[in-house]
C-alpha cells in the first residue's frame, strides 16, 4: 500500500513539474497561473489544456502567461491576448455571441422540445383515457385479438 502511494506521489509530482515553468513569487500568482492554464486550450494538441500539454508551443505559452500575470494584466486581458492570436479556439469556455447562441442554448432548446412533446402526448392520452377504459375484452372477441 505504501508503495502504491509512493508511486502515485512520484508520478503526480512529475506531472506537476511538467506544468510549472518557474518558481512562483507567491501563492496568489500560482493560483492564478494554474486556473488560467487550465482554462486555456493548447493550440497544438487540442484535447489538452495549456497546463496538461507538453508541446513546445504550450511551454512557450505558459511562460508568456506567467509574464503577462507578472505584468499585472487581468484575467480578461490575458484571455484577450490569446484570442487575438489564436482565436476562440484557445478558450475552453466559448464567449456568448450571436454566433455561439446555438451552442449555448441549443441543449435547452432540445430539452424544451422534449418536455413539450411529453406534455402533448400525456395530454392526448389522458383525454383518450375515458373512451379506451371501457372494458371491451369480451371472451368471444378473442379471435379478433392481434397476436
Partner 1 sequence: MSTRFLPLIAFIGLALLLFVGVRMNSGKDNSAIPSPLIGKPAPPFSLPVLNQQDRMIKTDDLKGQSYLLNVWGSWCPACQIEHPVITELAKSGKVKVVGYNYKDETEAANQWLQQFGNPYDLILFDEAGRVALDWGIYGAPETFLVDAGGIVRWKHVGPITPEIIEQEILPLLESKQ
Measure Cα distances from 52 to 19, 92, 123 in Å. 7, 13, 51
Nearer to partner 1, 12 or 105 (CB): 105
Query: Phi and psi dihedrals of 20, rounded to 5?
Result: -75, 120
Q: Which of 70, 87, 111, 125 binds partner 1 (CB under 8 A)?
A: 87
Nearer to partner 1, 10 or 92 (CB): 92
Q: Give the integer Cα–Cα distance in Å for 37 and 126.
A: 54
Cell numbers 497561473: residue: 33
Nearer to partner 1, 25 or 85 (CB): 85
> Within positions 47 to 86, which residues make up the interface with partner 1, using CB under 8 A?
56-57, 60-61, 64, 83-86
Length of the chain: 147
Q: Which of 35, 46, 74, 100 binds partner 1 (CB under 8 A)?
A: 46
Nearer to partner 1, 4 or 56 (CB): 56
CA angle 105, 49, 34 (to 5 degrees): 105
Positions that interact with partner 1 (CB under 8 A): 43-44, 46, 56-57, 60-61, 64, 83-87, 89
Amino acid at each position: 500500500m505504501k508503495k502504491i502511494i509512493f508511486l502515485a506521489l512520484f508520478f503526480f509530482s512529475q506531472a506537476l513539474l511538467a506544468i510549472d515553468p518557474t518558481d512562483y513569487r507567491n501563492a496568489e500568482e500560482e493560483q492564478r497561473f494554474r486556473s488560467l492554464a487550465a482554462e486555456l486550450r493548447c493550440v497544438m494538441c487540442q484535447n489538452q489544456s495549456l497546463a496538461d500539454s507538453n508541446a513546445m508551443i504550450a511551454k512557450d505559452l505558459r511562460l508568456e502567461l506567467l509574464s503577462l500575470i507578472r505584468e499585472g494584466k487581468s484575467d480578461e486581458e490575458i484571455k484577450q491576448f490569446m484570442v487575438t492570436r489564436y482565436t476562440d479556439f484557445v478558450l475552453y469556455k466559448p464567449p456568448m455571441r450571436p454566433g455561439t447562441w446555438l451552442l449555448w442554448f441549443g441543449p435547452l432548446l432540445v430539452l424544451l422540445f422534449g418536455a413539450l412533446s411529453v406534455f402533448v402526448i400525456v395530454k392526448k392520452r389522458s383525454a383518450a383515457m375515458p373512451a379506451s377504459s371501457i372494458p371491451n375484452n369480451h371472451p368471444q372477441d378473442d379471435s379478433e385479438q392481434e397476436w
